[in-house]
Structure 1
Amino acid sequence: MTAPSRILLVEDDRQLAGMLEQLLTSEGYDVVVARDGQRALHEGLTQPFDALLLDRGLPVIDGLDVLARLRARGVLAPALILSALGNPADRVEGLDRGAEDYLGKPFDIDELLARIRALLRRHQTVTPVVRVPGGELDTGSRTVTLAHSGPVALSQRESELLERLGRRPGQVFERADLLASVFPDADDLGVVDTYVHYLRKKLGRGAVSTVRGIGYRLGPLK
């Protein structure tokens, strides 16, 4: 039996949020609701989602800022922005900030559901192979194929950590960000260091580079 698609619904209007949660749940989706930008950022970084449904005008952190921060930290779930700001310039800004789709309020329920289905189809077609310097990671089999040697099997957490680094190979990730996104059930930053050690042991000392005072970034696999 296939698990239901998980949607992060971010909407500060309680009545609208309740209606949308009920609607999406009745359609078979697993829905998590956040009512401000800070909570949305926490949920997006600590849980996996298949799609993001984001109101633009949120308390604490604006919806587009939430999305930009999630994208910067490697969250790739496709996003649909809901907003009363529906002129072309606003739509362009939303798409440029990382959204896959933009729907103005008020909206038609059938159109909203159709757009969500389209988002989920895009998510399902994301390639499971992440190309990294010196090789590639198959996230399905959790196997790294190196350019100059045979395949290397990784544990689930090793694979998730390498995927997070590999999706944005030039980015420096803070240890706290990696802890929240890869190890949400842990609260000790030392867990990140331990799994970096495991990856280096399997893939070479340079596979993960330390950026002193900040965190880690991907290096070339040997």
Structure 2
Amino acid sequence: MTADRRHRLLLVEDDTKLSDLLGRLFTAEGYDVTVARDGHTGLHQALTSQFDVMVIDRGLPAIEGVDLIRKLRSRGVTTPMLVLTARGTTDDRVEGLDAGAEDYVVKPFEIDELLARLRALLRRHTDTSTRLDLGERYLDVTSRRVAGGTAAPIELSGRECELLHLFAAHRTQVFTRDELRRLVFQDADSPGAVDTYVYYLRRKLGRDIIRTVHGLGYQMGSA
């Protein structure tokens, strides 16, 4: 893998032998792999951690694979998803793609093709994910600027950009302070870092950019 960092991959597969095999394969290809062996665990992982790509089986316990994809899309998760399944009829493929998956690979599969499809997903996603919609404005991750609308572009610090990127990529999700500390502020000395950086974003972009959900945490607001 030629990326500057290891891409984070979530593998949701209940077959222990296959998930172990794929986990080793993806790790050898340079991915940072997290494995979930049922749909409920996959849902939790996908909503509480950031991933660059997901590989999801269809026949999962707890939450079926296509239902899992629908739940994630309905909650604003935009991570590219590939369905890996033995169910390969045209209707099955259409159902998976309509649920929100970007690709659909049928078992048995060729390893080289699977890896190539993952690389293609990441390329397509990377090409479009450097700009995230904020309503009237957008976040340009590469330049760390909020631009668009009638106002002049606004520069963000690296940590401000990372925090806003997380909210913008998961627009409907409510993040607790503990989740935000774990996802963005792992190295922060101050337990108040989350509130401090929410304040910084509001000061630069307007109070409505981040919404306080009382008793729960923070959620993407409007820009």
| TM-score, with structure 1 as normaliser | 0.78
Unmatched 5+ residue regions in structure 1?
none
Is residue 2:177 matched to residue 1:174?
Answer: no
Separation in structure 2 between the aligned mates of residue 28 and residue 103 of structure 1, nearest angstrom? 21
SS in 2 for 1:174: coil
**For residues 73-88 of structure 1, what are the structure 2 equivalents within 5 Å?**
73-88=75-90
CA displacement 1:176-216 (0-9 Å, x = unmatched): 4x864x54357xxx876654433222112333456778864
Q: Give 3-state SS (helix, strand or coil) of 2:128's partner.
A: coil
Q: 1:70 maps to what in 2?
A: 72
1:184 partner SS: helix
SS across alignment from 1:40? helix
Partner of 2:155: 153
Aligned residue identity for 1:94: G
- The partner residue of 1:116 within 118, 122, 125 is 118
The equivalent of 2:222 in structure 1 is 219
| Matches for 1:186-197 after TM superposition, within 5 Å | 195-197=197-199
Aligned CA distance change for structure 1 residues 97 and 183 (closer, same or farther; 3 Å): farther
Q: Partner letter of residue 119 of structure 1?
A: L
1:184 paired residue number: 182
Query: Could you tell me which residue of structure 1 aligns to residue 91 of structure 2?
Result: 89
Structure 2: give runs of 5+ residues left out of the alignment.
Answer: 186-191
* 3-state SS of paired residue (1:122): helix
Partner of 2:55: 53
In the TM superposition, what is the alpha-carbon distance from 1:27 to its structure 2 partner? 2.6
Matching residue of 2:188: none
- 1:207·1:219 contact (CA, 8 Å) conserved in 2? yes
Seen in structure 2, the aligned counterparts of structure 1 residues 217 and 114 have a Cα distance that, compared at 3 Å, is closer
Change (3 A) 1:67 1:183: farther
Over residues 66-100 of structure 1, what are the superposed CA-to-partner deviations in whole Å (9 max), with x where a residue is unaligned?
A: 22232233332211101122111111110011100
Helix, strand or coil: the match of 2:4?
Answer: coil
Structure 2 letter corresponding to 1:80: L
Q: 1:35/1:131 Cα in 2 relative to 1: closer, same or farther (>3 Å)? A: closer
Identity of aligned residues (%): 48
CA contact (8 A) 1:128 1:138 kept: yes
CA distance in 1, matches of 2:129, 2:67: 26
Equivalents in 2 of 1:123, 1:108: separation in Å?
Answer: 23
The residue matched to 1:102 in structure 2 has which SS?
strand
SS of residue paired to 2:105 = strand
Match of 2:32 in 1: 30
Please give the per-residue CA displacement for 1:3-46, whole angstroms capped at 9, x wherever unaligned: 23322111111111111122222333322211111222222223
